[in-house]
Amino acid sequence: MSSEKDIRKSLSQLANAPTPQNTPASVTGSYMKNQPPTIPSTISEENEELQRKLLGNPALLSMIQGKLDTLVGKSSGYVDKLPKSVKQRVAGLKAIQQKQFKIEAEFQSEILELEKKFYGKYAPLYEKRQKIISGEVQPTSDEIEEGKQLLESSTDKIEEISEVDEDEAAEEEIDINIRGIPSFWLTALENIPPIADSITDRDVEVLSKLSNIKLEYLDVPGFKLLFEFESNDFFENQVLTKTYYYQKELGYSGDFIYDHAEGSTIKWKDNDHNVTITVERRKQRNKHTKQVRTIEKLTPIDSFFNFFDPPRPPKSEETVSEVTKDEGAADVEDSGNDDGFEDVDEELEQRLALDYQLGELIKDKLIPRAIDWFTGDALQYEYADDDELDDEEFEEEEGDEEDEDDDSENDDDDESQPKSQPPECKQS
Question: Higher confidence at residue 129 or residue 407?
Answer: 129
Q: How far apart are CA 17 and CA 79, in angstroms?
A: 15
- pLDDT higher than 60, residue 50: yes
Amino acid at 192: I
> pLDDT tens for residues 91-104?
999 999 989 888 88
The separation between CA 205 and the C-alpha centre of its own chain, rounded to angstroms, equals 26
Which residues are within 8 A (CB) of 317 and not within 5 positions of it... i.e. 6 or more apart? none
Bigger pLDDT: 259 or 313? 259
Residue-level pLDDT at 21: 46
Top-level class of domain 181-323+344-380: alpha beta
Q: Find out whether 264 and 240 touch, Cβ atoms under 8 Å.
A: yes
DSSP string, 330-363: HHHHHHT--HHHHHHHHHHHHHHHHHHHHHHHII
Length of the chain: 428
In angstroms, the first-to-last Cα distance of the chain is 62
pLDDT at residue 395, as a whole number: 53
Largest Cα separation within the chain, whole Å, is 98
385 pLDDT above the threshold of 80? no
Strand order in the sheet with 258-263: 210-217, 222-229, 239-246, 258-263
Residues 6+ apart with CB under 8 A from 204: 186
What's the confidence (pLDDT) of residue 5?
54
Distance of CA 299 to the CA centre of its chain: 26
Task: Please give the DSSP secondary-structure letter assigned to residue 365.
Answer: I
User: With 90 as the cut, is the pLDDT of residue 306 above it?
Assistant: yes
Weakest-pLDDT range from 14-28, 77-91, 239-253, 391-405: 14-28
For residue 354, pLDDT beyond 50: yes
Q: CA 217 to CA 114: how far, in whole Å?
A: 11
Please name the residues in contact with 399: beta carbons below 8 A apart, sequence gap of 6 or more: 419, 422
pLDDT average, residue stretch 6-30: 46
Three-state SS at 130: helix
If 0-12 CB within 10 Å is exposed, 13-18 middle and 19+ buried, where does residue 211 land? middle
- Given pLDDT bands bounded at 50, 70 and 90, which one contains residue 230? very high
pLDDT at 357: 92
Average pLDDT over residues 110-127: 91
For the stretch 185-211, pLDDT in tens is 999 999 998 999 999 999 999 999 999
Cα separation, 371 vs 236, whole angstroms:
28
Please answer whether residues 289 and 243 qualify as being in contact, where contact means their C-beta atoms are separated by less than 8 angstroms.
no
Give the model's pLDDT for residue 307.
Answer: 95
Q: How many CB atoms lie within 10 A of CB 393?
A: 11
What are the residue boundaries of the structural domains of the chain, listed by start? 4-24+39-81, 141-178, 181-323+344-380
Task: Using alpha carbons, select from 386, 377, 367, 369 the residue that is nearest to residue 425.
Answer: 386
CA angle 173, 176, 182 (to 5 degrees): 110
Least confident range from 101-110, 230-239, 252-261, 340-349: namely 340-349
295 Cβ contact list (under 8 Å, min separation 6): 281, 282, 283, 284
DSSP H stretches of helix in 191-263: 193-196, 201-207
Q: What integer pLDDT is reported at residue 334 of this predicted model?
A: 45
Whole-number average pLDDT of the chain? 74
Nearest CA-CA partner of 129 in 121, 120, 137, 119: 137
The answer to whether the beta carbons of residues 351 and 369 sit under 8 Å apart is no
